Amino acid sequence: QVQLVQSGAEMKKPGASVKVSCKPSGYTFTSYHIIWVRQAAGQGLEWMGWMSPTSGDTGYVQKFQGRVTMTSNTSISTAYMELSSLRSEDTAVYYCVRGFWLDFWGQGTLVTVSS
Amino acid sequence: DVVMTQSPLSLPVTLGQAASISCRSSQSLVHSDGYTDLHWVQQRPGQSPRRLVYQVSNRDSGVPDTFSGSGSGTDFTLKISRVEAEDVGVYYCMQGTHWPPTFGQGTKLEIK
């Protein structure tokens, strides 16, 4: 069955960077884009961008342009989302999701930004 | 950006009764090639979101047939014919027709 397993919770200071990993299984990694969505506590869902494991192409929502980098390592079938210049407002659960139609979701990674 | 407006934002429902969630978009969600990129996602308390319905009306595998999606253009609806306890959670519509994809604010379904 399809699963996306993400790395564990992170605690960072303002101004630092965080890198979250996402390891899908149950399908061919290069067959689907990886989408990243975040959710602040008690809030709704927010698209961040997408990454093609095949080509390395990316598309970022303007709000995150310049601060987010989405990459992958096809040899270990793992996707990554790095967010830099962290601020308290970035405290959220970050989800990796399979494909533009969002058919399978990871378990989420809580990133806490606090001094 | 396309604004997705859901109503109601809170939906108290008696077990066994029907429920309906509306989702309206600020622009038509019909692609130039004819399909409509509108999906529904359920988030149960403490869980990751899970897709329920894709392209307006296609139920995902394992989703009970008490759930149905409908609509076109800018107006969409998710209906639950008989609410069960496991349906408690927040429901989001999402459009992927226009960049960037956007979600509705969410509708919280609870049992009366």
Query: For residue A45, what pLDDT is reported?
Result: 97
Give contacts of B29 with chain A, Cβ < 8 Å.
none
Alpha-carbon distance of B52 to B47, in angstroms, equals 14
Query: For residue B91, what pLDDT is reported?
Result: 98
Mean pLDDT of B59-72: 97
Q: How many residues does chain A have?
A: 115
In this prediction, residue A75 has a pLDDT band, given cuts at 50, 70 and 90, of: very high
Q: Is the pLDDT of residue B19 over 90?
A: yes
Alpha-carbon distance of B32 to A31, in angstroms, equals 24
Ranking A80-84, B23-27, B31-35 by mean pLDDT, the lowest is B31-35
Q: What token pair was written down for A96?
A: 């990796």
Mean pLDDT of A67-85: 97
Name the DSSP letter for residue A63: G
Total CB pairs under 8 A between chain A and B:
48
Q: Is the pLDDT of residue B78 over 90?
A: yes
**SS3 at position B4:** strand
Distance of CA B23 to the CA centre of its chain: 7
Average pLDDT across chain A, whole number: 97
Q: Does the distance separating the beta carbons of A106 and B94 come in below 8 Å?
A: no
Query: For residue B6, what pLDDT is reported?
Result: 98
Q: Is the pLDDT of residue A2 over 90?
A: yes
Q: Phi-psi bin for A32: left (phi > 0), alpha (psi -120 to 50), beta?
A: beta
Could you give the percent of chain B with pLDDT greater than 70?
100
Q: Does the distance separating the beta carbons of B99 and A59 come in below 8 Å?
A: yes
Mean pLDDT of A97-104: 95
Give contacts of B104 with chain A, Cβ < 8 Å.
44
Minimal Cα distance from A44: which residue of B? B105
Residues of B29-46 as b/e, b for ≥16 C-beta within 10 angstroms? beeeeeebbbbbbbbeee
Mean pLDDT of A94-103: 96
More confident residue, B75 or B33: B75
Q: Which residues have a Cβ under 8 Å from the Cβ of A66 and sit 6 or more positions away?
A: none
Query: For residue A31, what pLDDT is reported?
Result: 96
pLDDT tens digits for B102-111?
999 999 999 9
Q: Is A103 on the interface with B (CB under 8 A)?
A: yes
DSSP string over B48-91: --EEEEETTTEEPTT--TTEEEEEETTEEEEEESS--GGG-EEE
Query: For residue A73, what pLDDT is reported?
Result: 96
For residue A10, what are the β-bridge partners? A111
CA angle at residue B6 from B68 to A6, to 5 degrees? 80
The H-or-E segment that residue B95 falls in is: strand B89-95
Burial class for A56, CB neighbours closer than 10 Å (0-12, 13-18, 19+) = exposed
Query: For residue B110, what pLDDT is reported?
Result: 98
Query: For residue B33, what pLDDT is reported?
Result: 87
Mean pLDDT of A5-19: 98
